[in-house]
Amino acid sequence: MKFRTIKGVQDITPPETSLWQKVEAIARRVFRTYGYSEIRTPIIEFTELFTRGIGETTDIVEKEMYTFPDRAGRSLTLRPEGTASVVRAYIQNALHTLPAPQKFYYLGPMFRYERPQKGRYRQFHQIGVEAFGTDNPMMDAELLDMLRSLLEALGMGGLAFEVNSIGCPQCRPGYREALTGYLSGRRDHLCNDCLRRYEKNPLRVLDCKSPSCQSLKQEAPRIIDHLCDDCKEHFERFRGYLKTAGIDFTINPLMVRGLDYYTRTTFEVTSSDLGAQNAVAAGGRYDGLVREFGGPDTPAVGFALGMERLVTLLSDREGVHPPGIDVFFAILGEGLRERAFRLVKRLRSAGLSVEMDFLGSSLKSQMRRADKSGARYALILGEDELERGVVKYKRLSDGSQGEVREEELPGFFLGL
């Protein structure tokens, strides 16, 4: 074979596409009930949007971005996540002039140069949401409530919610100092990446996956012990609202997330229904990012969830059931093709899903195809029917047969 996909990306072909459509349809329905509207941003942006937004010392920016110069020598990047683009679009389109809060969702491909494995790809798909314009912790709780509704609607079980607060520019410096102090005495345990970046961004160590950095985490100073009064109150109210919403959660004081823009609330959702890659969704508050990108001071909160993992789960649980067609139109001889073409068109204009033979196959093999296609009815047109202005029909569920006059065609099937 001459051409294959590049490593870590995949085609999504029928019938699996029907599962993707199902996940998308459920997401759109749930988001609508929470007042979210869809936003579509480009998958390609100036590199600086991501380096500034996600942070220079994050894994994503240091190791995972698809970055290349365009023909004019500008550095462009395929989006590794959605938030930075949505924030840019929010400012560029002056969406902040609309009444707050403004709530958006997006879905589409993201690109990260990672080691491909089950549940982890280089082109993967996320569904994400962003709510701009309020720092009310009830919005954070509403977001998690919506996420739970979505995952439940998809039938995902074994959900665990972990939450944390990672403070704000007031309390972060004090914590950073404490953390840097703790880490500087344990430098020989840091991996090479963290050794390089711990002074600039010690929080990264807490998000590092290397076992030696992980082992340092347990004893490390905890950010929730360093929160300023405002952040403490915010976190308390957030947890209170989660209880009101009936969401069971645990506090994970070591969760900082892999992106620098987060402030205060962070959260991750895992599912025991998934294998090794069990993270379903993650997100948090990013109250400084709109300002950082040159917009007005605007608090915001959001999350993203990985679609591949949802689709895999749905497929394991329910299997793949693409919707069948309504009618398969069989012809007894090439001379009838034009007439059939016209009748098929008429059925389709009435909204029916209709297939016909294109290969000049025998009636037997056409009927086999009709069965396979999941059609409810087969229509059969022969010379005799043509002369009498009728079409034969067969109900495939029970084999019952009859005739229908051509002029009654769409109506007959619409009523069934």
Sheet holding 66-69, edge to edge: 44-46, 75-78, 66-69
Between residues 16 and 114, which has the closer beta carbon with respect to ligand ATP? 114
- Output 309 or 376, the one with its CB closest to ligand ATP: 309
Distance CA 413, CA 347 (A): 9
Half-sphere exposure of 219 (CA within 13 A, CB side): 10
Residue 81 or residue 193: which is nearer to ligand ATP going by CB? 81
How far is 182 from 202, CA to CA, in rounded Å?
A: 10
CB of residue 163 to ligand ATP, shortest distance in Å: 14
Residue 112 binds to ligand ATP (criterion: CB under 6 A): yes
Contact status: 285 vs ligand ATP (CB under 6 A):
no
Nearest alpha-carbon partner for 62 in 78, 51, 71, 52: 51
- Using the rule CB under 6 A, is 281 a contact of ligand ATP? yes
Task: State the minimum distance, in angstroms, from the CB of residue 305 to ligand ATP.
Answer: 6
* Interface residue with ligand ATP, options 146, 306, 312, 390 (CB under 6 A): 306
Residue 279 C-beta: closest distance to ligand ATP, Å: 4
Q: How far is the CB of 215 from ligand ATP (least distance, A)?
A: 18
| Rounded distance between C-alpha atoms, residue 56 and residue 201, angstroms | 9
Alpha-carbon span 345 to 354, nearest angstrom: 9
CA-based R_g, the chain, Å: 28
Rounded to a whole number of angstroms, the minimum distance from the CB of residue 281 to ligand ATP is: 5
Q: Total residues at the site for ligand ATP (CB under 6 A)?
A: 19
Per CB under 6 A, the segment of 130-138, 186-194, 276-284, 332-340 that binds ligand ATP is 276-284
Using the contact rule CB under 6 A, the part of the chain among 85-93, 117-125, 138-146, 181-189 near ligand ATP is: 117-125
Q: What angle do CA 123, 129, 131 make, to 5 degrees?
A: 150
**Nearer Cβ to ligand ATP, position 102 or 312?**
312
Interatomic CA distance for residues 41 and 81, integer angstroms: 11
- Using the rule CB under 6 A, which residue among 308, 326, 357, 385 binds ligand ATP? 308
Residue 109 neighbours by CB distance under 10 Å: 14
- Please identify which residue in 304, 313, 352, 378 interacts with ligand ATP, judged by CB under 6 A: 304
3-state secondary structure of 311: helix
Note whether 81 binds ligand ATP by CB under 6 A. Answer: yes
Q: Please, what is the minimum distance in Å from the beta carbon of residue 259 to ligand ATP?
A: 7
What residue is closest to ligand ATP based on CB? 306
- The helix or strand, by DSSP H or E, that contains position 141, with its residue range, turns out to be helix 137-153
Rule CB under 6 A: is residue 267 a binding residue for ligand ATP? Answer: no
By CB under 6 A, which span of 35-43, 272-280, 319-327, 378-386 interacts with ligand ATP?
272-280
Q: Whose Cβ is closer to ligand ATP: residue 126's or residue 298's?
A: 126
Token code pair at residue 400:
């019952």
Contact segment (CB under 6 A) with ligand ATP among 86-94, 113-121, 133-141, 383-391 equals 113-121
Beta bridge partners of 329: 356, 379
Helical segments of 4-136, H only: 16-33, 47-54, 59, 83-92
Three-class secondary structure of residue 142 per DSSP: helix
d(Cα 95, Cα 102) in Å, to the nearest integer? 8
124 binds ligand ATP (CB under 6 A): yes
Number of C-beta neighbours around residue 285 at 10 A: 28
Q: How does DSSP classify residue 120?
A: B
Asked if residue 142 binds ligand ATP (CB under 6 A), the reply is no
Residues that bind ligand ATP (CB under 6 A): 81, 112, 114, 119-121, 124, 126, 258, 277, 279-282, 304-306, 308-309
